[in-house]
Chains A and B, each alone.
Chain A
Amino acid sequence: MKRRDFLKGVVGSCAAMATVSGSVEARGNNPRLPGAVGLLFDSTLCVGCKACVTACKQANDKVLDVPADKPYLDRTMHLSPDALNVIKMYKNGKPEVKDREVDGFAFQKQSCMHCVDPSCVSVCPVQALLKDGTTGVVTYDKDACIGCRYCVASCPFQIPKFNYDDPFPEIHKCQLCNHLWSENKFSACADVCPTGATLYGPVEKLMAEAKRRTSLNPGEVTRFPRRDIEGKEFGREQKVVKYVDRIYGEKEGGGTQMLMLSGVPFDKQGLPDLHERSSASVSETIQHTLYSGLVAPAVILAGLVGVARRNTKNHTDESPEEDAHE
């Protein structure tokens, strides 16, 4: 084949690809679902009792890790296949005052954030991780899972956990206790929380409640709902602590369905400082630009087939005599 023909082919393919890429919109963040449910965690209300850690384990059939003398106190410090929810403590200097950054302390809940546009769902090659189209709960199906752990690696919050010491491992993460819904129950961590630090409900209402709290003046007394924001149940009246002016999860990484309030800056408590654009949307934009409808690969393949056909005639594996009597 002549070089000129090849160049023509290349130019043609590139033009076709450019047309294809042009027609593919950059994928923006997935929008919040109107029926999304989630949690609101208010660090200023959390007293660190860890009742939620125990309740979570009981609701999800996990092994408790309790000392014999304090059977109510689960010792679990880190997320693992046996712990889908833990409470972590922030400490600075002489930890004298709660919810203060310097010489203070605070509690932080760690469990699946149920991202609006989750990386784990985007990367899973076999749809083992899915985001429910109505509630937005990020679910896991072990029967589909191949155990590649792309979800584990890609989660910006390091949530999914995997059993490395099990020949039949699974991914373990909070699924918002969606298995309890049929019994008219909801997330065990929120259900059991004595102060309302963890609150369950529709994300829209949780967001409104979070905004109400951050707009209050520190020292003002208000009532904090408990368990389920729609349940009209209230904990005790309490003075408002000075909040950091940010609702974590409103925009971080494209937003999450677990929202967080705190008196101590979130990055000090180990929460990542994420772009507002979700990583999934960046990755999928590249992927869809190249592969949407498999048009670009098809065009290139057609070009390659034509070129290869001509050029294999020029030099085959066969010697001339053999070609002659074909």
Chain B
Amino acid sequence: MSSYAPVGGRLVTPVTVVLGGLFGISVFLLVIRFINGLGAVSNLNDGYTWGIWVVVDIVIGTAFACGGYAMALLVYVFNKGQYHSLVRPALLASMFGYTLGGLAVLFDLGRWWNFWHLISPAYFNVNSVMFEVGACVFLYVIVMWIEFLPAFLEKLGINRLRQKLNKMMFLFIALGILLPTMHQSSLGTMMVVFGRMIDPLWQTNMLPLLFVLSAYTMGLSVVIFEASISAEGFKRQRETRLLGQMSTVIVGLILIYLAIRIGDIIARGELSRIYSNGFLSGMFLVEMALFLIPVLILLTKRARSSAALLFVAAVSMLLAGSLYRIDTMLVAFNPGSEYSYFPSIPEMLITIGIISFEILAYIVLAKYLPVLHQEKQAGATGELRSL
């Protein structure tokens, strides 16, 4: 027996039906997208050629999917074995986040039938940051499926292969830490080439460092977020003490992030833009506030042992990291006054549909595969109908 167990329970519940419905709508809209082109469902244009499919589905989506990366680094590199029970659920969410982020790339690629050029040496352009991101994300998705394979093998009762795989797992764990470090930072580097098209409050050569730091912190936060939701939704024991302990790491990382962010703005002599930049100054301050809220909340030990406050802090950090990405890639990006962009309703529905599918698949797999940490007392599987 492993220390993880399936949650069990019924598949058809109000929650899964709604998620399925939202996913169905997005499939319908995607059919239209593939028949009539990107413009048929989106407001993308030559000024804002990347919209929410890139920024939310891929860039923010994969940052939300950094839970596996964050836990692996904490548990296997910093040897914090006490967090081991959080690894597999985090890995499952990451695997889905990345796999679907990869699929979302296909909806957004204009010439999607050529997508394999990204991993074909004949086409490689090693100068391209996007090549690095594409190849790296592709490899990482494979690595995560291998890391998750023991859960499938356990379910199917193929134990010899599982044991063999587990013995080699350290190789994939190491890759599973290196690869996200590489492409999460590269997602920041990707914006450097836009030069003066991005406002100086956001445009900096520090983008790779800021992106990977915030992605890692979002990864830790999403673990708290998911553990809280799982505890509520699957009616499981809370892991508040463990999560509270981990939240101190989040506070430290946010402080490092803010020090680099602000220090860099001062060093480049752009500090006055924080108040003299109109709407963008406002966006910057909202961003800063969202980063500071978790720091302030988690200062006291009492707050760190409150499930509700931990949840609020995690949500604030996730919003902060998301807004940072939206600001950098859309709000602070100015291709000229003749262009404007706000996502269309079908565009948003497709994004919502993809997220719905992700949550749906997580629920289904958590019910049928040994993913969540096994409960100590028996009988906890009695109340499972809420999800």
Contacts and interface: CB of A to CB of B under 8 A. Distances in A.
Interface in B194-239: 194-197, 205, 208
A204 interface: no
Contacts of A143: 114
B85 to A, nearest CB: 10
A153 B170 contact: no
Interface of A: 1, 3, 6, 119, 122-127, 142-150, 152-154, 156, 158, 160-170, 270, 272-275, 279-280, 282-284, 286-288, 290-291, 297, 300-301, 304-305, 307-309, 311-312, 314-319, 322, 326
A147 B37 contact: no
A193 B47 CA distance: 30
Given A127-B123, A319-B2, A282 B193 contact: yes
Contact of A169 (B3, B37, B335): B37
A123 B129 contact: yes
Interface string B36-70: 11111010111101100000000000000000000
Most buried by B among A3, A144, A319: A144
Q: Which 3 pairs across A and B sit closest by C-beta, in order of nearness?
A: A147-B110, A164-B39, A147-B111
A286 B182 CA distance: 12
A110 to B, nearest CB: 12
11 contacts: A6-B77, A150-B190, A163-B37, A164-B39, A165-B37, A290-B182, A300-B181, A301-B174, A305-B170, A314-B79, A314-B81
Interface string B143-169: 000000010000000000001001001
A136 to B, nearest CB: 17
Nearest to B123: A126
B246 interface: no
Interface stretch (B13-21, B130-138, B278-286): B130-138
Given A145-B111, A149-B110, A305 B171 contact: yes
Given A164-B45, A301-B175, 14 more contacts: A123-B129, A123-B193, A124-B130, A126-B125, A126-B131, A160-B46, A162-B110, A164-B38, A167-B34, A275-B195, A312-B173, A317-B2, A317-B166, A319-B2
A21 to B, nearest CB: 13
B342 interface: no
Contacts of B262: none
A317 B130 contact: no
A219 B367 CA distance: 85
A146 B169 CA distance: 34
A158 B114 contact: no
A282 B205 contact: yes
Most buried by B among A122, A283, A288, A326: A283
Contact of A119 (B193, B208, B336): B193
Nearest to A80: B46
A253 B371 CA distance: 52
Most buried by A among B78, B110, B129: B110
A1 B79 contact: yes
Contacts of B195: 156, 274-275, 279, 282
A300 B42 CA distance: 41
Given A279-B192, A304-B178, A123 B132 contact: no
B76 A148 contact: no
A248 to B, nearest CB: 16
Nearest to B39: A164
Contact of A125 (B50, B118, B171, B182): B118
A282 B112 CA distance: 29
B44 A6 contact: no
A304 B3 contact: no
Nearest to A167: B37
B130 A125 contact: yes
